[in-house]
Amino acid sequence: MVSRMVDRFRELQQKLADAIEHYETPEFKALDGNMAAAFQAICRHVPRNANEARTMATFFLDLIESNDAGDNIHIIRHVRAIVVDCIEGDRPAMEIAHGAGI
């Protein structure tokens, strides 16, 4: 599910890049709004498994890597939340055997 949202965002991102010279038009503004909505949908999505978490983390890291505006703090927070939640949720139960000599 999240991979489809990421693919949709990337499609919108490419369309927006192709239309950048028309940034004052209603069509561009609508496209920009659709892209913002797609991004927010990805941000609100709670990964259901490790694959979705990996997809989301990769997506956010790709954005950080390609963003030269320096406003990555909100994206970094999303990645931290995904990684921490995924690690906490997937941590296997430790079996303690033989006392302190584990």
Tens digit of each residue's pLDDT (9 = 90 or more) over 26-84? 998 999 999 999 999 999 999 999 889 889 988 988 888 887 666 778 888 888 888 87
Question: Residue 9 burial by CB count (10 A; 0-12/13-18/19+): exposed, middle or buried?
Answer: buried
- CB-based contact 5:45 (threshold 8 Å): yes
Say what the pTM is.
0.70
**The predicted structure's pLDDT at residue 44:** 93
The closest alpha carbon to 13, from 63, 80, 84, belongs to: 63
The better pLDDT of the pair 23, 100 is held by: 23
- Poorest-pLDDT segment among 11-15, 74-78, 84-88: 84-88
Confidence class of residue 102 from pLDDT cuts 50, 70 and 90? very low
**The predicted structure's pLDDT at residue 23:** 81
